[in-house]
Copies of this chain bind each other. A is one copy, B any other.
């Protein structure tokens, strides 16, 4: 079970993070550009100490990276949609590559069930959406649900 070449379990799974790490994660999730000194003030520790904790959270795989929250709408992508994609028989890999090569798909998960892929799409217009889906139509059946709003904005898993 514990084949070291196949780490199905990552470091922190068995040594749960403590309260300080939780506060660090929450603070950095809200603003990943916080200075280590400011973060240190927030959690009541010295800067080198929190800096070392952040480093360990990265090394342990908890923090996969520091990233950006970009508003697609502000870039003119006025329509967001979630697209379920069911490749025709034998077309699974072709379809996956096509999704990956279509930059308007900004995210795609492989899932169980009738439709192997669920992808997040951003487009400027209905016409652009039609172009993207049309390009898939020879290889897959798609079901598109336009996003009307957000009930839960991306948030951390419970810590």
In this complex, what residue of B is CB-closest to A54? B33
Q: Decide: A32 near B68, CB < 8 A? Known: A106-B157, A152-B108, A158-B104.
A: yes
Shortest C-beta distance, A154 to chain B (Å), equals: 5
* CB–CB B118/A75 < 8 A: no
* CB–CB B110/A31 < 8 A: no
Residues of B within 8 A of A96 (CB): 151
* CB–CB B10/A110 < 8 A: no
Identify which of B115, B119, B151, B156 contacts A99 (C-beta below 8 A).
B151
Residues of B within 8 A of A119 (CB): 151-152
A-to-B contact residues, CB < 8 Å? 10-13, 16-17, 25, 28-33, 60-78, 81-82, 96, 99-100, 103-113, 115, 117-119, 122, 143, 145-159
- The 10 A-B pairs at the shortest CB distance, nearest first, are namely A108-B152, A111-B145, A103-B158, A10-B74, A61-B74, A108-B151, A64-B69, A32-B66, A65-B69, A110-B149
